[in-house]
Structure 1
Amino acid sequence: MTEGHQPRLDPILEGAHARAIGRPKDACPYPAGSSERRAWFEGYDGAPADDGPDLPMDAGR
């Protein structure tokens, strides 16, 4: 590792941290369409990107 280079954290943790310190959602450092960008947004939003809304308990009846 070169001096001054800091390894990146897990993108999910980075996104959660960004939200916690008040950074805007458009501050994501990863390129559009990348798996890292999706993970960063999952952390920022606090939910997996492919996780749909919860259904009522009786929805399957």
Structure 2
Amino acid sequence: MKQVKGAFGIQELRVHLGPGYRVYFREHDGQIIILLCGGDKSSQRHDIKKAIQIDKELSE
């Protein structure tokens, strides 16, 4: 797991299977919230933007 640059609080979990999947999540009040967003290396930039958008919507 690692912190996503430019996305405060969002972390990336890499799954070393097939093309190398990535799942984006954050922690809130001690609970892990999966942002229902992920993909592989080829869609990483788009997936991070989507995770940031979902996180903002959940924070409103």
Same fold flag (TM > 0.5): no
Q: TM-score range by the shorter chain?
A: under 0.3
Which has a greater percent of helix?
1
Larger Rg over CA atoms:
1
- When normalised by structure 2's length, the TM-score is 0.26
- When normalised by structure 1's length, the TM-score is 0.25
Which has a greater percent of strand?
2
Q: Identify which of structures 1 and 2 has the higher relative contact order when contacts are C-alpha pairs closer than 8 Å and 6+ apart.
A: 1
